[in-house]
Amino acid sequence: MSVDQDTNHDSGDGCLSMHNGWFSSGWPSYLPQHQAMMLCMLFGTAAVRGLRGSLDEVAQQLFNGEPGAFFGRRGGTLDSPVVWMDDDELEYLETDEEKDQFCTDAAEHRARCEGLFRAAGVAVPTTIRELADTMLALGIATVQDGVWSMQDPIPGPETVLDLTDAERAGIADTRRIWESGSAESTLLNYLTDDLGQPGEVFTSVDRLAEASKLSEDDVRYALGRMIHENDVRLERGSPRAQVNLDDLKNHERFHLVADWQHFNENRIMIRRG
């Protein structure tokens, strides 16, 4: 099982392990998102550290008997209710109409997911403990004689649920983004850590590939994502004019102009292990 190391928590040696395939699996879109991710970290940490025991015993070892705060509800327990909609997200919505629409969309999403589980003969979880049982039943993790493990890759929703063609296509797109996302992160790390977020760089695809230790195809993918997100634009000529990435050969020089204010306000960087 491949894992990422997550942030420091008060849990034994301080670090929790996240399966690298969780976000690309597709399950975050069909389970209570935050709590399912936290359980995935609990399963992954138990597997990596070789912790033995039941769900309660592993939680006791990791969280000193107080898992509620870890799952987003201080004082809660494994028997606390699942939370499909994060109320904190409402704080970022400005109008009552936006909030009402958000709540309506969340309720419809929950009903859709619960309907898919029932149709597949999978128990609909109402508590965190039941959510853990559901995730085990789905094959996301296994425990046998107190020994925890996770498959690599994690079996996705399409292996269990009767999804529409559009939903299957959405999962496929998510996987392509995550599986290729490390190239974008690597290029961003080069521009941020090595170059200090410069306003612009006079460079080329092959030069960026050599500097960031990526393939030229990966650099093109990463640049394409950054252009799509309006984080950068490419300019050439005298006077300078914006150019299309597809029109540039790998050796042709261009000015990579970055809008770091836009990037820092709209994007979150995830460093993968």
Q: Where are the domains of the chain?
A: 3-162, 175-266
Q: Residue 192 and residue 205: Cα distance in Å, rounded? A: 17
In sequence order, the β-bridge partners of residue 81 are 127
pLDDT at 72 over 70: no
SS (H, E, C) 99-135: HHHHHHHHHHHHHHHHHHHHHCCCCCCCEHHHHHHHH
pLDDT at 258 over 50: yes
Task: Dump pLDDT digits (tens) for 140-166.
Answer: 999 999 999 998 889 999 999 999 999
Sign, Cα dihedral of 12, 15, 18, 23: positive
Q: Are 245 and 220 in contact (CB under 8 A)?
A: yes
Class of domain 175-266: mainly alpha
Q: Are 64 and 44 in contact (CB under 8 A)?
A: no
pTM as predicted:
0.65
Q: Are 234 and 256 in contact (CB under 8 A)?
A: yes
Start-to-end C-alpha separation, the chain: 12
Q: Are 135 and 124 in contact (CB under 8 A)?
A: no
Q: Residue 71 and residue 67: Cα distance in Å, rounded? A: 6
Closest CA to 232 of 204, 210, 268, 200: 200
Task: Dump pLDDT digits (tens) for 8-49.
Answer: 344 444 577 888 889 889 999 999 988 999 899 999 999 999
Task: Dump pLDDT digits (tens) for 83-126.
Answer: 898 776 777 778 888 888 989 999 999 999 999 999 999 999 99
